[in-house]
Chains A and B, each alone.
Chain A
Amino acid sequence: MAPVLISALEADYILKGIDDNLRADGRGRLDYREVILETGLITQAHGSARCRLGEGTDVLVGVKVDIGTVDIDGTEEEVATVKAKRGRVVCNVECSPIASQQFAGRGADDINNELTQMMSRVLNGPQGGLNLEKLCIIPGKACWIVYIDALVLDYAGNIVDTMFMTTRAALFNTQVPKAIIHDLGDGEVEFDLSEDVEEWERIEGWEHVPISVTLNKIGSRHIVDATPLEELTTEAKLHVMVNRNGKICGIQKSGSGSIEHSLLNEMVQEEYDINEKRMRNKPVEKLGFFAAT
């Protein structure tokens, strides 16, 4: 990634502001920018959503489901028997070069990999919320693979949170074709897919998909929903994923700085509270068609 520099003066200004609980755009430390969420905008996809955070960050997520084979080669038998009865989630995050000059050229590879990894870890497993067993069509043979493609169209800080929010919305929007199983006798099973769009169903467990809150440690304090300049002054980040039941589904740290143990506990608690609040009683305003543009 091309190093983006920030002057010492600018960094100091941000640091001081955060100490006083007043950030450059007038927010307090734990205030989010406005979120605009739109679903179902790609008709060819099985599900899609787009999220804009404040005036900047813009993430588009498309979900495609397709039939795949169960991948159990080389795994131990116990794991294989579990895996055989499950579908899979395959994530891919791509930061568009038009979003920021950081993503130009090969610079985006690292960040793309990091974000893809993070998504896969959270969503592929019980913590991800989706009922993967329900995605199995014929145990050991065929299953649904849910491809989640996130595209970062514009960057104004806090990609991770935006990405998870959009993903959750896109999964909510996703319709999976119904598979009709035929028993051929002799234990042989074959299936057909219902062509009728009306009969398609949501993926079970979409409501348990977690969202993330990222805290940026700047100086001895931490803030949410950092802007690009704030991210440049950030020493370390902590992402915490929480689902609607208030269960923590994943924690990941990034950035080069360290977080003291006491601060870590405090940050996790803080993030948890924020997330709880966001999940439960968030003021929602319906904006209608073309709201995000």
Chain B
Amino acid sequence: MLQSKSFLKRTKKGNAIKVVQEHYLRDDIWCSVECCKLCLQTGPVLSTSAMLTAQIPRPHYIVPDTNVFMNQIDIIEHPALHDVIIMQTVYEEIRHLSLPIYNRLRALINDQKKRFYVFSNEHHRETYIQRLKDESPNDRNDRAIRSAVKWYSTHLKKITNKENHIEVVLLTDDVGNRTKAQEEGLSAFSVREYVEGMTDTPELVDILGNSSNVEGDKKVPYEEHLTTSQITNGIKNGTLHQGTLNISMHNYLEGSILSNVNGADTQIMILGRPCLNRAIQGDVVAVQLLPKSEWLRTPTAVVVEEEEEANVNADLKEDGEPKEQNDELESEVIESSQPTGKIVGIIKRNWRPYCGFISKKSVKSSATSTFSENVLVVPMDRRIPYIYIRTRQAQNLMGQRILVSIDAWPKNSTYPQGHYVRALGAAGDKSTETEVLLLEHDVPFQEFASQVLNGLPVEGEAWRVTEEHLSGRADLRHLNICSIDPPGCTDIDDALHVRPLPNGNYEVGVHIADVTHFVKPFTSLDEEAANRGTTVYLVNKRIDMLPELLGSNLCSLRCNVDRLAFSCIWELTSDAEIVNVNFTKSVISSKASLTYEEAQILIDDTRKQDDLTKGIRILNQLAKKLHKKRIDRGAITLASPEVRFQLDFDSQDPVDVEMKELRETNALVEEFMLLANVSVAEKIYSKFPASSLLRRHPPPTSTKLKELSNAIKPLNFSIEFETSRALAESLDRAVLSDDPYFNKLLRILTTRCMMQAVYFCSGTLQFQDFRHYGLAAGIYTHFTSPIRRYSDVIVHRLLDAAINPDKNYGQELVDINKMQKLSDVLNHRHRMAQLASRSSVELHTNIFFKGKIEHNEGYVTRVLKNGFIVLVPKYGIEGIVYSSSASSTTKSQTTPLVVYNSHNNSLESVTPSGTVSIKLFDKVIVQITVDEDLVDGMRQKMKMELVSPFIPGLSVSDNTLRKKEIRIEDEGGNGKRMRIDD
């Protein structure tokens, strides 16, 4: 049977195209019920042991409609729900409405335990219906679903007898649809009715989407959002600006977007709840600029957590508008004001499930209560507003980390409304907190799926290099190759060798694990690796990009076994000039896996004179020359306050913190890796000028560096940043003889002014924009760590195609769009991985400081209006010291203790012994504690309080320190050296 349907499609350019489709109806679409004898299916999905609930004590299949999936996907995902029929009508509607939900649904369909069956009702001769005249598409689809349910219902009657009868149940929250279904004799329920009938799993009621059952508190009168067409029009004619909302880490009521205003990329600030207008971190929003008189002036204030907490209380007591920023509006406009705007519409929501905890104060019920109540969830991510959820297990969930989803944010509600998804575990527990930070950073951390593992070599651990691998590969097993890595490293990506040539030059080889031999394009293994993008290193855990068999064994260039490698071999003069370079796939056998320390000992131990040791010494000499050349070109030595934890072997709790130590041998390996990356980048770019995956580092924006330069002016230093070379030299000059840490601190702060290095596809940019600023290289890529970075896997494939002219390669290597999309994903994953490991360090720092009170020397790295940020070099940690916090007794005082002086960007305080000022780079002493009780004790937070210089009312007084018997010697001398030892 043939049906044809036509509809109109509009292209991006605005053209209208009439599309006509032919639609063939079939009668060979089966019901997929296990016991059905009428249908000729193979491998039925739906089981006879279908759903049974207290309310419907007969086995039944569930047919949810589109909105049930859209609003209640978390319920659908719950293991208690199984044997579900998804109508094709529903399936296609979901695909158009929301891709994330569609993907989750796909995952459910693939999950054999859930037994989800997609029934192609639109192609079935008996269930297909045509739209009636004056029937809206939605009504038609509802009718199509009902028609299919009806078919199932009669079909099931045919195939089952009285004893084993199975029913179908339509789930819909649409009252009209439900009534119509019941009129047609079908059983239909709303999700709430159905879930409440599932008495075995009471927690499901909590997971119910919260879209309509909470009335707003009407305290913040949000403005109505504009319609989509108004927004598109506004953006087109320049009255509105589009951008991704980014909320400040220090102030959850301060956001900004980066957008093009009058031809220049401008940061537009958005301040306060009414202006943020229900937008959440990451949403794509439309912003309208405010009149110039209302623009913001620097600096920004941090929102003190206590204040934040007070606001919540105030909100709960229905007090009214929080007052964080009133004082700002009073002061006069100065020239450097920043464009400020308000959000008038949301173009794309970017909601995800958020980890958080229930605010104790919002729970009113008693410990035994099982009534559902509205509580506030405080997300772990400070940039996300609190979320209302409705739960009956509030008492149970207190003290736990939970996952919640946002359903809606009505305009009469201060906070968005969401629902509980699942509990993650007790707060403060290391594994819970680790899961939280992985979830929060969108790190895919589940075990590898079986289909991914199926892509591994069948031999498993017993895989060996055989004769057939040798074809097309150079046999380099006779060379003295060794690898140098951090201790405990199992994923050895790279190994090196050197040998003198008869003409006095050296042959230097960098051998990289040949991951692409195992990871072929378009396999599940490849897709999984591309999705993970990078291996994530946490303090106590490593989330691998590749399954362990490959990463730690078959690819890893371990010593004394034959391994496949991709080699980059140069001829270098004794001055480390490249004579030529050669790339080849190879087979190697590493002679030694050294740690940095072992290699260093070999270099220093003059008694050792074997070939391997001699080789390492030559490499070391060459590396030093390479390094010097790089520095001469203007490469910048950057710094980060990284630390390393020593973990207790059993509990994995941190027992000590140490600075990461850098040895000569670190630099040795690094130099050759940089050299290999540059050589490979040049090679692949020569063959694939449009589709090479490269890495660039844009030059820093001058404004931030200018600020830094101004701050060190009193010390008679300056920062030049016209070229990377000038910057490197000015950094080298800035050395304080009495404070060796000053230079490092300056480098740390300079690093923060830098842009992020990013992957990109060579076809999307001009050649002059390829530069890697930090490394002072004209072209750069990542080639040397394919085990832990997916970018390197792609570069390996590109290089392989570049050196073998006869080799066939996939179209994916020359598709610019795909390559750019891939690099966007990799950049995101890379960034998230960095943030996740940083969070992991923070978590362990907190564990380390638990129950400790320490006094440490720190440096002021940023001065804010109501506080300053201190970096403690010993632990590499940073924290805010609030100068006008509500926690001290100063709340009632009329004159603030500390005044921000915008003239020289410092905080000043008049004390009995003279004026104390705190400015950038000042050395201070702070007391570090982990404050457990802050905000219900659920967000562990490092707390720093000022010890010296002493400011009465702000600094922690001697009283609290009596036990430790610490005396502050010099209350005013902030420039002097102070040391307090515990």
Interface residues of A (CB under 8 A from B): 43-46, 64-67, 142, 177, 182, 184-185, 188, 190, 192-198
Contact = CB atoms under 8 A, between A and B. Distances in A.
Q: Which of A64, A193, A195 has the most CB of B within 10 A?
A: A195
Contacts of A185: 230
B463 interface: no
Contact of A44 (B5, B14, B16, B20): B20
Interface in B722-775: none
B20 A177 contact: no
A193 B20 contact: no
Range for the number of chain B residues in contact with chain A: 20 to 34
A193 B16 contact: yes
B232 A190 contact: yes
A192 B133 contact: no
A195 to B, nearest CB: 5
B893 to A, nearest CB: 50
B229 interface: yes
B20 A43 contact: yes
Contact of B16 (A43, A66, A184, A190): A66
Given A44-B19, A190-B229, A190-B233, 15 more contacts: A43-B4, A43-B20, A44-B18, A66-B16, A66-B17, A142-B14, A184-B227, A188-B230, A188-B233, A190-B230, A192-B229, A196-B7, A197-B5, A197-B8, A198-B133
Given A44-B18, A66-B16, A67-B14, A182 B229 contact: yes
A266 B584 CA distance: 91
Contacts of B232: 190
Contacts of B7: 195-197
A184 B18 contact: no
Interface string B1-39: 000111110100011111110000000000000000000
Interface string B175-191: 00000000000000000
A46 B15 contact: no
Contact of B8 (A43, A45, A190, A193): A193
B17 to A, nearest CB: 8
Given A66-B15, A177-B16, A193 B233 contact: no
A145 to B, nearest CB: 10
27 contacts: A43-B4, A43-B6, A43-B20, A44-B19, A44-B20, A65-B16, A66-B16, A66-B17, A67-B15, A67-B16, A177-B16, A177-B18, A182-B227, A184-B229, A184-B230, A185-B230, A188-B230, A188-B233, A188-B237, A190-B230, A190-B232, A193-B8, A193-B16, A195-B8, A197-B5, A197-B6, A197-B7
Contacts of A198: 133
A177 to B, nearest CB: 5
Contacts of A190: 229-230, 232-233
A192 B229 CA distance: 9
A142 B232 CA distance: 16
Nearest to A192: B229
A66 B8 CA distance: 11
A205 B345 CA distance: 42
A45 B18 contact: yes
B871 to A, nearest CB: 51
Nearest to B132: A198
Contact of B18 (A46, A67, A194, A196): A46
A211 B237 CA distance: 45
A177 B15 CA distance: 12
A173 to B, nearest CB: 13
Interface string B587-618: 00000000000000000000000000000000
Nearest to A46: B18
A67 to B, nearest CB: 5
Contacts of A195: 7-8, 137
Contacts of A45: 18
Interface string B122-161: 0000000000010001000000000000000000000000
A194 B229 contact: no
Contacts of B20: 43-44
A188 B17 CA distance: 25
Nearest to B14: A67
A66 B233 CA distance: 21
A44 B17 CA distance: 9
B246 to A, nearest CB: 28
Contacts of B16: 65-67, 177, 193
Nearest to A178: B8
B233 A194 contact: no
Query: Which 3 pairs, one residue from A and one from B, show the smallest C-beta to C-beta distance?
Result: A190-B229, A43-B20, A184-B230
Contacts of B227: 182, 184
B14 A194 contact: no
Given A45-B18, A184-B229, A193 B133 contact: no
A65 B16 CA distance: 8
A194 B134 CA distance: 13
Nearest to A186: B239
B951 to A, nearest CB: 54
A32 B232 CA distance: 57
Contacts of B8: 177, 193-195, 197
B592 to A, nearest CB: 70
A10 to B, nearest CB: 48
Contacts of A46: 18
B856 to A, nearest CB: 59
Nearest to A68: B15
A45 B16 CA distance: 12
B706 to A, nearest CB: 40
Contacts of B15: 66-67
A194 to B, nearest CB: 7
A166 B815 CA distance: 47
Interface in B220-274: 227, 229-230, 232-233, 237
B140 to A, nearest CB: 10
Contacts of B230: 184-185, 188, 190
Contacts of A66: 15-17
A46 B10 CA distance: 15
A184 B239 CA distance: 13
Contacts of B133: 198
A288 to B, nearest CB: 19
Contacts of B4: 43
A46 B20 CA distance: 11
Contacts of A196: 7, 137
Determine which residue in B4, B14, B19 has the highest number of CB atoms from chain A within 10 A of its CB, and name it. B14
A44 B227 CA distance: 33
A178 to B, nearest CB: 10
A131 B6 CA distance: 26
A156 B10 CA distance: 40
Nearest to A182: B229
A193 B15 CA distance: 11
A35 to B, nearest CB: 28
Interface in B643-693: none
Contacts of B237: 188
A44 B229 CA distance: 29
Nearest to A69: B14
Nearest to B230: A184
Most buried by B among A64, A184, A193: A184
A43 B233 CA distance: 34
Contacts of B5: 197
A64 B237 CA distance: 30
Interface in B778-810: none
A40 to B, nearest CB: 12
B902 to A, nearest CB: 39
A198 B14 CA distance: 21
A67 B17 CA distance: 9
Contacts of A65: 16
Contacts of B18: 44-46, 64, 177
Given A44-B18, A66-B15, A67-B16, A184 B6 contact: no
Contacts of B6: 43, 197
Contact of B233 (A67, A142, A184, A192): A184
B884 to A, nearest CB: 44
